[in-house]
Amino acid sequence: MSFTTRPEIQGTFGVVTSTHWIASAVGMAMLERGGNAFDAAVAAGFVLQVVEPHLNGPAGEFPAIFRSAATGQTQVLCAQGTAPAGATIDHYRGQGLSQIPGSGMLATVTPGAFDGWMMLLRDHGTMPLRTVLEPAIHYARAGHPILTRAAATIAGLADFYTTHWPTSAATWMPGGHAPAGGALFANPVLADTWDRILTEAEAVPGRDAQIEAARRAWSQGFVAEAVDAFVRRTEVMDASGAPHRGVLTADDMAGWQASYEAPLSGDYRCWQVLKTGPWGQGPVLLQSLALLEGFDLGAMDPDGAAFIHLVIEAQKLAFADREAYYGDPAFVDVPLDTLLSAANTTARQTQIGAIASMEQRPSLLDGYEALTRGVVDRAVRLTGDRDAAEPTMAHLSEKRGDTVHLDVIDKLGNMISVTPSGGWLQSSPVIPELGFCLNSRAQMFWLEDGLNQSLRPGARPRTTLTPSLAFGPEGQALAFGTPGGDQQDQWQLVWFLHHVHHGMNLQEAIDAPLFHSQHFTGSFYPRSALPGQMMIEESVGASVISELRARGHVVNVTPEWTAGRLTAASISPDGILRAAATPRLMQAYAVGR
């Protein structure tokens, strides 16, 4: 199937993009009712948990990066939960594990999404709690047309659910069979959970006090109690092929809350690009841009082999550093200043050659030798077929979980980019009293001591979730992102370069052929590496693919319109708002007026 590039959405009131049309419409409805961008994001975020349950859920997590028009300040909201107190390497090794499974109870960290949305609403939104929750409650109770891919995911897991996760069968297979794509699908138990939270919240007067009461109901009240009881009594089959019991407790939930922090900033061709810190993979985008700064990308064909080769080779170097050095900076030393320094960047640029590299080559920094050796050793040990646990596109398995994304900008200039994920219906069994399952983000830790990504109680996993903001030389502001695990910053990089160097508007840059490297160790179980391999859409053309192979790349070709689910929004100094969403999979939408 082919598409003609669609025009950007334009407006002056507000724009919303998300990976589902219902969520986009709900976000715009909040703006039209007098809410701001943050109200719209919260309402859309909860709706996404209902309408894309194979991609995110209530017990998942998200990072958000946002700018407040009132303060002019840009912040990161970290709603990424941490490893439970009982999540130690010794405990997991004692279960006979060498890696954390990609599903099941041991893969769970403290759920973060609910508290994150509540903090955003309390501190930056304007609307009452009921107003932003009501759309999600409606679609959970009354039903929504279930996506064909969600239905296919449930169908693919039907036998597993029936045999091993009966509570999931009860939720996702009402009547004993998987729903058909497009059929009306409801989750009344989840609606009841949110209704009960609202009832407890509204027992106290005042908007902020009600939001705080909702937070307590989640982390210290009936939700935490149900989670604790389910984890304690349940031993379930997981991706390791054996059953295990989890370690998450009510105390873990009560002891954690979302937090704010300053974004990491990088400059590129008069643009300022803002990302999360190294507890996410966001700095790889800044490292990739730094490596590419010295090349004349604007003179290159944006779909040509020279451009693609250069970007892929820069990404290999940046992702090698991600594997060696990134981790939760509250627990480990992450030398970002050195990695992003001019001296290190210049040295690394000389490693980009005319032929594709087959090596894992992190920056060699004095005092960090053990970390760099570990990258090479793990990649050799785990080289093999990748069955990534967070695919986005049609060429990857529908039995794996993924992510959603949304961007909102309002007429005041408030803007937010947020990438919710986790707690998808493939993660673990549904908690029957609550109507949702737990997340599986702990699979990003290593069960080896001495690494920046070693499993540590209280630490954040080095997530792949990575929203973006960027501010241009003429006063323009961008919010953008995508689902897609390890591909997220790769696809965002290609999109940003096309926009900055090749004069493509938001939609044209989204619609251009996409590609990404598969060279480095993956973030998801079973964590395999595919040295020298890359994936590219066939729409780039046979001659380009042949030239890339001649340059030494192992090129995996995927059909056109099957890689990347980017969305983007912008505001210019004249107040014009623009938005764009990918046509890939035909479910992302951009709306505005």
Residues 506-553: tens digit of each pLDDT: 999 999 999 999 999 999 999 999 999 999 999 999 999 999 999 999
Digit-coded pLDDT (tens) for 345-363 = 999 999 999 999 999 999 9
**What pLDDT, on the 0 to 100 scale, is given for residue 390?**
41
Asked if residue 99 has pLDDT above 60, the reply is yes
Q: Identify whether 526 is preceded by a cis peptide bond (ω within 30 of 0).
A: yes
**What pLDDT, on the 0 to 100 scale, is given for residue 288?**
98
pLDDT band at 401, cuts 50/70/90? low
**What pLDDT, on the 0 to 100 scale, is given for residue 394?**
41
446 strand-pairing partners: 454
pLDDT more than 90, % of the chain = 92
Digit-coded pLDDT (tens) for 282-330 = 999 999 999 999 899 999 999 999 999 999 999 999 999 999 999 999 9
Q: Is residue 59 exposed (0-12), middle (13-18) or buried (19+ Cβ within 10 Å)?
A: buried
185 strand-pairing partners: 144
Report which of 376, 350, 358 is spatially closest to residue 291, judged by C-alpha positions.
Answer: 350
Asked if residue 391 has pLDDT above 80, the reply is no
Lowest mean pLDDT among 190-204, 343-357, 370-384, 466-480: 370-384
What is the pLDDT averaged over residues 459-485?
97
Check if the beta carbon of residue 189 is closer than 8 Å to that of residue 174.
no
What is the pLDDT averaged over residues 86-92?
98
Asked if residue 250 has pLDDT above 60, the reply is yes
What is the per-residue burial (b if ≥16 Cβ within 10 Å, else e) of 253-289? bbebbbeeeebbebebeebbbbbbbbbbbbbbbbbbb
Asked if residue 169 has pLDDT above 90, the reply is yes
Digit-coded pLDDT (tens) for 499-508 = 999 999 999 9
Report the side by side order of strands in the sheet with 589-592: 259-261, 74-79, 62-67, 415-418, 406-410, 14-18, 589-592
Which pTM does this prediction carry? Answer: 0.96
Asked if residue 386 has pLDDT above 90, the reply is no
Pairing between strand 554-558 and 74-79?
Answer: unpaired
pLDDT more than 70, % of the chain = 96
pLDDT band at 400, cuts 50/70/90? low
Asked if residue 447 has pLDDT above 80, the reply is yes
**What pLDDT, on the 0 to 100 scale, is given for residue 88?**
98
Check if the beta carbon of residue 411 is closer than 8 Å to that of residue 424.
no
